[in-house]
Amino acid sequence: MERSHHLYLPKLSYAPMGHVYGAPYSEHPTTGHSKPEQIEEMVAQQLHHLKMHYADEEQRYVDQMILENPIVVERRVAPPPPAQPASDPSPSTSSGHRGGVARSSADSKDAQRQRAESCRKSRYNNKIKKARLRFRHKFVSGQLQKSAEMLDTMRSVIAQAERQLVERGLPRSVLEQMRRSHGLDVAMQQ
């Protein structure tokens, strides 16, 4: 046969996953047909499988990108402690309770250290969240680009098939009726 009469069908992106999902449906043993309820259930299962696969793929991509691009959080330099004037004695030192001042100073330094550590963790977590969102966006954008390319390919395949049908003598009215019945009249215009 001549090559001009065959359609070029590219490999679909879900073709390698066929082994994961199994057969698309099983026929009823007595009638040889599936019931509508079974079809709805199978479609729901397939959709769930595709969503899970997509989520897993997205998570793997984000994790890989986080590993390849480590997050670095710089340490902030602590501001110098405020200088107390020597001429202004604090009330606790003049009354002779030096133990209380040392304890409150230690508590204050401990609280400051805990606040600093908490701020560091918060900055680190915020940077991780931003990086994850950035990588998720990159992944989704890439998937959207692939889908747009696949849609363009499918439109060109449909257009090629329509041209070949017209060349073989199929009336345009029948072709238009086929497009309307399969919803291609709207899909091809977008």
Nearest-angstrom CA–CA distance, 30 and 37? 16
Average pLDDT in the chain = 77
Dump pLDDT digits (tens) for 40-94: 899 999 999 999 999 999 999 999 999 999 888 777 666 666 666 555 545 444 4
Nearest-angstrom CA–CA distance, 188 and 190? 6
Nearest-angstrom CA–CA distance, 32 and 35? 10
What is the reported pTM?
0.55
**Nearest alpha-carbon partner for 17 in 43, 60, 50:** 50
Structure tokens at 149: 């390319």
78 Cβ neighbours under 8 A, 6+ residues apart: 116
User: Contact at 8 Å (CB) between 20 and 42?
Assistant: no
Q: Where are the domains of the chain?
A: 14-70
Amino acid at 131: A
Cα-only R_g, the chain:
34
- Residue 103's pLDDT band, with cuts at 50, 70 and 90, is confident
User: Contact at 8 Å (CB) between 41 and 94?
Assistant: no
The percentage of residues in the chain with a pLDDT greater than 70, rounded to a whole number, is 65
- 139 pLDDT higher than 80: yes
